[in-house]
Amino acid sequence: MTDSFTTAFASIELSDQQQSLLEEVRDFADSVVAPAAYEYDTKRALPYDIIAQMGRMGLFGLPFPQQYGGQGKDYVSLCLAIEQLARVDQSIAVTLEAGVGLGVMPVFRRGTEAQKEEWLPMLTSGQALAGFGLTEADAGSDAAGTKTTARLENGEWVIDGTKQFITNSGTEITRLVTITAVTGESTRADGSVKKELSAILVPSGTPGFTVEPSYDKVGWHTSDTHPLTLAGVRVPEANLLGERGRGFADFLQTLDEGRVAFSALCTGAAQGCLEEAVRYAKSRTVFGRTIGSNQHIAFTIARMQARVHAARLACYDAAHKVAAGKPFKMEASIAKMVGSDAAMANARDATQIFGGYGFMNENPVARHYRDSKILEIGEGTTEVQLMVISRALGFGG
């Protein structure tokens, strides 16, 4: 165990179980995920063998009760696992983060007992993945822009519409996508129309449900991301998830919680860049001395360390609040914003320290450089986080 690893969590209070999990996932990331990262990034393919190993380790079931096939751990444990994976491969980390936070969590939080019994065991074991179908061409943070519709007809929801940028929606083991749809409309006192949004479970393979070709993305090449088309899709009325008309509100709560796990991914990415920069600066020799002996390089890496430290403190402050059942909405936005800033800045600095080597895709910092930009966009842009934080301080509508 390196000194940097030992000191990384010096200010984070972990239980013996959490510390053991951290070390187990870190070893797995270094010995299994990292050696395969470049190969699968080049292939743009999800490594199902690695996902299966993660399932056997119980990573997809970490924060869920054992009665549903989970591990009975807390949210901090999930964040620890995501961070360690993100150090070496953001695509693998987001497959876990989205698989749990956006795939399993809505069913666990809002599902009926019958829905939980049907879906949770296969999802918490990692044998299956689920997607989270919120975003559309004109809708994301703006719920009013949702155009996907669902109407009741003979005891079934008939769904029509499209979704975009949906993670884990088209893998070989995807079994479910939860979507938001307009299930009704009402007229406000001022004459404007208010859309009733609800969440509905759509099993993969349902007639009319089409997973379109995957995106050609700048980064996260191993992660599965697709647009979806729903044309006359019929599912039972019982597939309503949660209360009718509360679909978007419930999804926003899911996103709040998911941002904490997402901030762990950001922290891991920033940590991975730091570790690579430290290693290279101590080994790369120019003009008869290591580049780390140059004050500019040393100070740059010192700033990288400071960013990681701040991101980690913000992340686990929010994660402990989630685990304790305390309010965490503002803290989640702070953690996500600080973490994504740290990841992007550290990726830029690490690439600069590596010079030409940092521009080669086989170098982990090059992949972090490509991957980290989406961290400032996904699960709520930096601007959305600023809006949430400012509103918590009493500004805005």
Q: Indicate which residues carry an active-site annotation.
A: 379
169 neighbors 102 (Cβ within 8 angstroms): no
Whose tokens are 């998911």? That residue is 258
The candidate with the shortest Cα–Cα distance to 86, out of 303, 337, 308, 297, is 308
For residues 354 and 85, give the distance between their C-alpha atoms in angstroms, rounded to a whole number: 22
Q: How big is the chain by its Cα radius of gyration, in Å?
A: 21
Q: Give the pair of three-digit tokens for residue 153.
A: 């007809």
For residues 245 and 290, give the distance between their C-alpha atoms in angstroms, rounded to a whole number: 62
Whose tokens are 């010192």? That residue is 302
Distances from the Cα of 352 to the Cαs of 110, 301, 309, 358, in angstroms? 46, 11, 21, 7
Question: 3-state SS string over the chain?
Answer: CCHHHHHHCCCCCCCHHHHHHHHHHHHHHHHHHHHHHHHHHHHCCCCHHHHHHHHHCCHHHCCCCHHHCCCCCCHHHHHHHHHHHHCCCHHHHHHHHHHHHHHHHHHHHHCCHHHHHHHHHHHHCCCCEEEEECCECCECCCHHHCCCEEEEECCEEEEEEEEEEEECCCCCCEEEEEEEEEEEEEECCCCCEEEEEEEEEEECCCCCEEECCCCCCCCCCCCCEEEEEEEEEEEEHHHEECCCCCHHHHHHHHHHHHHHHHHHHHHHHHHHHHHHHHHHHHHCEECCEEHHHCHHHHHHHHHHHHHHHHHHHHHHHHHHHHHHCCCCHHHHHHHHHHHHHHHHHHHHHHHHHHHHHHHCCCCHHHHHHHHHHHHHCCCCCHHHHHHHHHHHCCCCC
